[in-house]
Structure formats: C-alpha cells, structure tokens
Amino acid sequence: MNLFDRATSLLPSGGGRFSVGIDAGMYAAGGANGGLLAAMILRAMTTALDEPAKTPRSLTLHYVRPAMEGTADIDVTIERQGRTMSQLTARLTMEGKLVTFAVAAFATDRVGTPEWQDLTMPQAPRPEEMPAQERPGPGFRQYFDVRPVWGGSPFAAEAPEAAADASEDGGDHTTVGGWLRTREPRPLDHLAVAAFTDAWFPVVFARRASELSVPTVDLTIHFRSAIEATEGYCLGQWRSTVARDGFVEEDGEVWSEDGVLLAQCRQLALMVTR
C-alpha cells in the first residue's frame, strides 16, 4: 500500500466509528500535521456516507489540541442526508479528549447554473525543471515530494521587511508554494488534495528570521472541480496579508498540472515564539 494511504488508513468499528494510528513520523511542530488529519477525517466521512455520486465540496476543521502518537478514534455523524447534498460532522478524539472537530458538505453536480472563473493558474516552471526540496524538515514532509517555486527557504529573511514583496498598493505580501505530490506517486483524489492544502511551510516562515511555531486554529477547504485520477503534480500557492494579535491567516489554491483549479483554502493560525 502507498505510504500516504497507509498513514491515512482506517479501521472501521461500526456505527460511523473508525480507529486510526498516529505516529511521530506525521508530526509537524508538536503534533500530527493538519493536512494529514484532514485526509484521515475526509476518508472517514466519505466511507461513512458511502454515496460515490456525492463528492466533497466543503471541509472545515478546528484543531482543538495536538494529535500525538498513539491510537485515535474518528466518530462520523451524518447530520442530514438529502437527495443531492449531505452534511456530516466528525470528531477525532484521543483518550476521550477532543482533538479535531470537522464539518463537511458532500453534493452532486448541479447543472444549468451560471459558471465563471476569474482566477488563473500562476505561471511556473514545469515540475521536472525544479529540484526536489531536500532541506530537513518536520517528519510529515516524508509523505510529499515538494518542489519550491515561490518563497525560498523557511526562516531565510533577516527581518520581516526583508522577505516582503511590496505590492503596488503599498502593502507587504509574501507568496510561497510550488509543485507537490505524494512522495510515492498515487492517483490524485480528494484525500491528497486535502493534505496538500496544509503541506507547505507557513507563509510567516518566509517573513521571519527567527523560528516560530504556527499551529493551525482552523482550516477550510473548498473543492472546486472534479479530480481526475492522474499521478501528476499539483501546483499550490499560498499568501498572507494580515498578522495581528498573535494570529495570522493564509489563503491558497491548489491546481492540477494541466491548469484546473482543484481547491481553495483558508486557515487561521496561532503564532508562538519558540
């Protein structure tokens, strides 16, 4: 079995409950990576719903406490099961304590509605033209093949101002991202895309010379297109415009290699000085 699929595998216990294993190799700073947890929970929700015609459209996760090494339980509740849309909630717990709470909407395609897309895929060199990132990092990076295009290396800035790109309106904007796929290539699906949304280093790392811990408070993923089961790379780009009162936001997009917008995401994170 693929390394990513082993890490996010489930053991059904009946009644919408699943057991999962978390090990230290999944850690970011101080606990399991939020993207891997998102993939685990989305797998549990998809399995519990068991309606292939309905695909994930929205997933929001609140990370209540770190997910540490050990066995966790995921309890899925189908809050409403409609003809074309269903809403689900899930709770990931360890030793009886809530670790992550999630809400999701699954739906069929709706035809005959207006469509537009003002976003365009950022221009970037092809993934085979970019070297894989070899810099040592958190354990969870073992699951991903990462090829940076924007943002350089984490903590490379001498000061916040040194890493900021001055925009025409006078604001400071930093962009990070590049190509990524699972380390062991596998067909692309919603689980991988969910994991990709939190697989890059935080934008704040490109703006700060000193190291920070940036645990995610909440992460919302909107899946925007059908996902074809190809083994190509995805292009991810993330940016941040406000850091205040110890919290920072990130907005991002994940694109297929052939230019299809697969997902938009936003997260709020807490900044903790080490």
How many C-beta neighbours within 10 Å does residue 39 have? 26
User: How confident is the model over 179-199, as a mean pLDDT?
Assistant: 96
The percent of residues in the chain predicted with pLDDT above 70, rounded, is 90
- Structural domain boundaries enclosing 220: 3-108+129-273
Is residue 163 pLDDT above 50, yes or no? no
Average pLDDT over residues 103-109: 97
| Cα gap 27→32, rounded to integer Å | 4
Q: Is 18 a domain residue?
A: yes
In a domain, 61, yes or no: yes
Give residue 151's pLDDT.
Answer: 87
In a domain, 124, yes or no: no
Residue 78 inside a domain? The answer is yes
Looking at the structure of the chain, the number of domains it has is 1
d(Cα 115, Cα 50) in Å, to the nearest integer?
28
Using 50, 70 and 90 to split pLDDT, how confident is the model at 5? very high
92 neighbors 103 (Cβ within 8 angstroms): no
In this prediction, residue 95 carries a pLDDT of 96
Segment 244-249 shows an average pLDDT of: 96
Name the DSSP letter for residue 229: -
Mean pLDDT for the stretch of residues 145-155:
83
DSSP assignment of 160-203:
HHHHPEEPTTS-EEEEEEEEEEESS-----HHHHHHHTT-SPPT
Task: Give the pLDDT score at 273.
Answer: 85
The residue type of 137 is G
Whether residue 173 is predicted with pLDDT greater than 60 in this model: the reply is no
pLDDT digits (tens, 9 = 90+) for 117-140: 999 999 999 999 998 876 556 789
Q: Examine residue 193 and state whether it is found in any structural domain, yes or no.
A: yes
CATH at 208? 2.40.160.210
